[in-house]
Chains A and B, each alone.
Chain A
Amino acid sequence: MIVLDVLLRQGSFTLDVHALLDQPVTALFGPSGAGKTTVLDAIAGLRTPASGSITIDQRVLFDSSRGVNVPPYRRHVGYVAQDVALFPHMSVRRNVLYGRRDGQKLSLATVAEMLEIETLLDRDVPQLSGGERQRVALARALMSAPELLLLDEPLAAVDVERRRRILPYLERVRDQLRVPIVYVTHDPAEARQLADQVIVLEEGQVVR
């Protein structure tokens, strides 16, 4: 269960979100500029709220009143950003293994098979297509054994055909690994298909 109580200002934009995420998959839905990505950045620790608190299963990641701000590398929150940001100077294999944690039960073989990237492992990042990049980035995030997975519009950069092909992978992650997922999208159909809970954001506020 994730409890968000976040006030964050960025220029003239104010994000003021209070929400309880207690389902396996939560979709953050809303028009562009609503602050969806900013919410993910705050959960991942890449942006610091002005005030409020963020907790995952009683684990306090941020609490302005107690001066707690856990750095991103200790949050155990996997984040696949919209641009996926695969390291361009490493092979796919090194990318996927970059964040592997000691005691990680999930093996590279399992993840590679689940996301069907076995044949990509020895390629270089520039050789990958958009859909392949998404799967590799997802694999990389999963190998770090996240307690929560943040996905920012994982299907925005791929065409409709590939979208249909990637959705099943996300469903596999949801059903087989049981990692809670917070999923950003501006597509209502996508939100309905994957998510158990939909949070609608508009202009930095939860409207529903």
Chain B
Amino acid sequence: MDAWQITGFTIATAAAATLLMLPPGLLLAWLMARGRFPGRVVLDTVVSLPLVMPPVATGLVLLMLVAPRGPVGRVLARAGVDVVFTWKAVVLAMTVMGLPLLVRTVRAGIEQVDRRYEAAASTLGAGPLRVFFTVTLPLARPAVAAGAVLGFARALGEFGATIMIAGSIPGSTRTLAVAIYSFAETGRDRDAAVLVAISAAIAFGALCVSNWISSRAGLRT
């Protein structure tokens, strides 16, 4: 077992997933907090679905979408991109599973931002995009940081959707969570225990960072 490879791979893919979920996550959070359009409730439900569905079910839906014959997979295959059972599938699963946590946290943060600041910015000539990037987002920064940490933590522990679309291929798609399961199932309890210890250490670190962010946010306001 290469514990360091597994650990490094898990952190790298979770970090990539977090970066990937930020742009759509911020946009969705903003739309839901401030937008007034038909279908808002539907959008909210769809984004939150992975939070309540069994992760394995979400994984199966993703598999059907990105499989070489699936509606998305077909387009990707034509572009020469193979997703299923590669590291890209790991990142995809992590992104989809982490996104709802990010969106919900950031949305709550944006709702806390006093609209008077946004109104003031707009009378000063700032269009919606400028208002978002210069007023709304900076004022919601603690929530964005907290949401990103939550999304990252969720991505680190992702199992169900990952095993469906990425499998457990040593050295190529095996993350900490998946490896723990694979080792435990094949009787390699010592290896599994080592990875559990590493997982606990990472979780501890993430929680420390999250607490540090929220305490700093508390000091500022």
Decide yes or no whether A81 CB sits under 8 A from chain B: yes
Report, nearest first, the 7 A-B pairs whose CB atoms are least far apart. Answer: A99-B124, A85-B120, A72-B122, A79-B123, A85-B116, A73-B122, A144-B124
CB-defined interface of B95-129 with A at 8 Å, one 1/0 digit per residue?
00000000000000000001011011111111100
Contact A85 B117 (CB under 8 A): yes
A20 to B123, CA, bound (A): 22
Contact A75 B123 (CB under 8 A): yes
Contact B117 A81 (CB under 8 A): no
Contact A72 B139 (CB under 8 A): no
B contacts, CB < 8 Å to A = 114, 116-117, 119-127, 131, 134-135, 138-139
CB-defined interface of A80-92 with B at 8 Å, one 1/0 digit per residue?
0101011111000
| A38 smallest CB distance to B (angstroms) | 13
Contact B119 A144 (CB under 8 A): no
Q: A98-B121, A99-B126 are in contact. Are A88 and B139 (CB under 8 A)?
A: yes
Identity of the chain A residue whose Cβ is nearest the Cβ of B119 in the assembled complex: A46
| Interface of A, helix, strand, loop or mixed by DSSP | loop
Contact B126 A98 (CB under 8 A): yes
Q: List 11 A-B contacts (CB under 8 A).
A: A44-B123, A46-B123, A73-B125, A74-B125, A75-B123, A77-B123, A81-B116, A85-B116, A85-B120, A99-B123, A99-B126
A101 to B131, CA, bound (A): 15
A118 to B200, CA, bound (A): 54
Q: How many interface residues does chain A have, given as a range? A: 20 to 34
| B122 smallest CB distance to A (angstroms) | 4
A52 to B121, CA, bound (A): 26
Chain A 123-150 interface residues, beta-carbon cutoff 8 Å to B = 140-141, 144
CB-defined interface of A55-84 with B at 8 Å, one 1/0 digit per residue?
000000000000000011111111101010
Q: A87-B135, A101-B125, A141-B124 are in contact. Are A72 and B119 (CB under 8 A)?
A: yes
| B36 smallest CB distance to A (angstroms) | 12
- Among B121, B125, B126, B139, the one with the most A-chain Cβ atoms within 10 Å of its Cβ is B125
**Contact among B117, B122, B123, B127 with A87 in the assembled complex (CB-CB below 8 Å):** B117
Query: Other CB < 8 Å A-B pairs besides A73-B122, A81-B120, A144-B125, 7 of them?
Result: A45-B123, A72-B122, A73-B127, A73-B131, A78-B124, A85-B120, A88-B139
